[in-house]
Copies of this chain bind each other. A is one copy, B any other.
Amino acid sequence: METQKIAIYDTTLRDGTQREGLSLSVEDKMRIADCLDRMGVAFIEGGWAGANPKDGEFFRRMQDHPLRNAELVVFCSTRRAGIKAEDDPMLVPIVGAATKWITIFGKSWDLHVIEGLRTTLEENLAMISDTIAYLKNCDRRLIYDAEHWFDGYKNNPEYALKTLKSAFDAGAEWFILCDTNGGTLPDEISQITELVDASLREWGSTSPQIGIHTHNDAGLAVANAIASVQHGATMVQGTINGYGERCGNANLCTLIPNLQLKMGYDCIAADRLLNLTATSRQVSEIVNLAPDDHAPFVGASAFAHKGGIHVSAVQRNPLTYEHITPESIGNNRRIVISEQAGISNVISKVETFGICLRKEDPACRQILQITKDLEQIGYQFESAEASFELLVREALGDRPKFFTISSFHVYSTSDVTHSVGAVNSQATVKVLVKDEEHLTAAEGNGPVAALDAALRKALTSFYPEIANFYLTDYKVRILNSDSGTKATTRVLIEFSNGKRRWSTAGVSQNIIDASCKALAEGFEYGLLSAVRHMMEIAKA
């Protein structure tokens, strides 16, 4: 039997941003779209063009930034009551978003038509069919989100089916059953999906394209999506890490491995599944929310073994206490007491830097110990691989000393004028290069900008490549939050030279000190890469 294909439809950029505390810049959205595209989802819902300036700009910029695999989708409601679709200004930016696919959501629940839209049941049907027909006429392919489908169907099945029929007749290709309020139970989902499948066949569809969109208000978003797939759905909608309004959407990081590894459906290419854990963590870094260590499959504790009996059993046979192999989704087994588990981790990571280490090599254990010690005080190397590579090279005696920072002083004052771009900080930095000290000073809009400028001033005459390195992201998090401003601070900085990006971490009680460490390692890694690049050219 051929493997059944399930289309993965990600809505992190639209429904995910409904989560309280989550707000994305246009750059954030573009970076997440790239992560999703790399992971191999079929559809990426980018937002509601026109609903806010950010989403409009996102779609404009995506026109010059084509995705490799995924289809970008723009989202919008049906036209307003009482006007023609072509006269509704809301649809102008939707067409302007220039995506091949558009998702239109409409009302399935009579209560919402009357109390929410305050229009008639008949007009709602016209709103669905007009909007879809108009956009189809603009040469778009249509996905129809049946909002509140399950509540609507339970309340008035006849009317709910009429709304779906309107979308069907108007030419929508996918029919998404939404459990908008997240309160439906799996057995209801199963039954109703089956009924929709039967109705679509009755209307003449030979292979009904049903999608399922669930929310986690009853803690059942993933179970409900699975139930629907088992009864006919061939598309699942969800978000990375389950971000979404209230209790969130179906978590794709849970749903995809369940469907693919346990149930045998084909969601994303098997080699992409290996990126699942990395994608989950990258997205949580971009949205700046701490990852949930206890998340199924991708959490740092998902394969952590604590008790002694478990540990020895799992080492003899992983099947005894693990429901899947953690490597299949790019996660790791963690043995909380024994350090045995980490060695292979170190070896495989170091391999990506082009360094071959054998298990017996004493450097392995040394790197592992340094990593654990640094992680203990707050480093996190997952988002700072450049810092990790420098650490490895240090342990192997293979870290060139391009420069050393002897000391810095930073001075910052209030921006009395409150004018944008006013210079309000100064930094001096003493750098050791070739056994000679160089003292430079610079100013900037903020202490880190001033420090960055002073460092560049000191280093550029020795290493002109530094002029090409620029900072693309800067993030700070408090690690032991209960001690407030006295707590340890972790700074993550991302650099780019226009061709590739790299990230470093700095940890200190002083945010400036942490920033300085991350900055210095960023320059150092950039120089190391430049050397490597030149050597490769020389060899070739």
Binding site for B on A (CB under 8 A): 18-21, 23, 25, 27-28, 51-53, 111-112, 115-116, 180-187, 216-220, 222-223, 226-227, 230, 245-248, 251, 254-255, 258, 262-263, 288, 293-297, 299, 301-307, 309-310, 313, 316-317, 319-324, 336, 338-340, 375-376, 380, 382-383, 405-416, 420-421, 424-425, 444-449, 452, 470-482, 484-487, 489, 494, 508-513, 516
Complex contacts, A470 vs chain B, CB 8 Å: 484
A304 and B411 within 8 A (CB): no
Q: How far is the CA of A242 from the CA of B493 in the complex (A)?
A: 25
A-B CB contact pairs (8 Å), 15 listed: A20-B301, A23-B380, A27-B480, A53-B376, A218-B296, A220-B223, A220-B258, A223-B223, A245-B305, A245-B310, A415-B508, A447-B447, A475-B478, A476-B511, A481-B494
Complex contacts, A421 vs chain B, CB 8 Å: 509
B226 and A116 within 8 A (CB): no
A445 and B509 within 8 A (CB): yes
Interface centre among A21, A27, A415, by most B CB within 10 Å? A21
B510 and A445 within 8 A (CB): yes
B20 and A382 within 8 A (CB): yes
Complex contacts, A340 vs chain B, CB 8 Å: 18, 51-52
**In chain B, what residue has the closest Cβ to A109?**
B320
A27 and B447 within 8 A (CB): no
Complex contacts, A262 vs chain B, CB 8 Å: 183, 185, 218
Interface centre among A115, A309, A480, A482, by most B CB within 10 Å? A482
A468 CB → nearest B CB, Å: 13
Instruction: Indicate whether A485 sits within 8 Å of B452 (C-beta atoms), given known contacts A321-B180, A416-B407, A476-B477.
Output: yes
Q: How far is the CA of A20 from the CA of B380 in the complex (A)?
A: 10
B472 and A313 within 8 A (CB): no
B424 and A513 within 8 A (CB): yes
Complex contacts, A375 vs chain B, CB 8 Å: 23
A352 CB → nearest B CB, Å: 15
B446 and A512 within 8 A (CB): yes
Complex contacts, A420 vs chain B, CB 8 Å: 509
Interface centre among A115, A263, A494, A509, by most B CB within 10 Å? A509
B411 and A301 within 8 A (CB): no
Q: How many copies of the chain does the oligomer comprise? A: 2
A322 and B181 within 8 A (CB): yes
Q: How far is the CA of A299 from the CA of B297 in the complex (A)?
A: 23
Residue A411 contacts which of B217, B294, B410 (CB distance < 8 angstroms)? Answer: B410
Instruction: Indicate whether A484 sits within 8 Å of B473 (C-beta atoms), given known contacts A220-B222, A410-B411.
Output: yes
B474 and A115 within 8 A (CB): no
**In chain B, what residue has the closest Cβ to A451?**
B485
Complex contacts, A187 vs chain B, CB 8 Å: 230
Q: How far is the CA of A510 from the CA of B515 in the complex (A)?
A: 14
B185 and A288 within 8 A (CB): no
**In chain B, what residue has the closest Cβ to A375?**
B23
Complex contacts, A218 vs chain B, CB 8 Å: 222, 254, 258, 262, 296-297, 323
Q: How far is the CA of A16 from the CA of B412 in the complex (A)?
A: 39
3 shortest interchain CB distances as A-B pairs = A183-B323, A471-B484, A223-B223
Q: How far is the CA of A309 from the CA of B494 in the complex (A)?
A: 38
Instruction: Indicate whether A446 sits within 8 Å of B513 (C-beta atoms), given known contacts A20-B304, A185-B226, A247-B295.
Output: yes
Q: How far is the CA of A181 from the CA of B326 in the complex (A)?
A: 13
A485 and B474 within 8 A (CB): yes
Q: How far is the CA of A510 from the CA of B411 in the complex (A)?
A: 12
A447 and B412 within 8 A (CB): yes
Complex contacts, A19 vs chain B, CB 8 Å: 294, 301
A317 CB → nearest B CB, Å: 5
**In chain B, what residue has the closest Cβ to A473?**
B481
Complex contacts, A510 vs chain B, CB 8 Å: 412, 415, 424-425, 445-447
Residue A303 contacts which of B184, B246, B413 (CB distance < 8 angstroms)? Answer: B246
Residue A486 contacts which of B223, B226, B444, B494 (CB distance < 8 angstroms)? Answer: B444
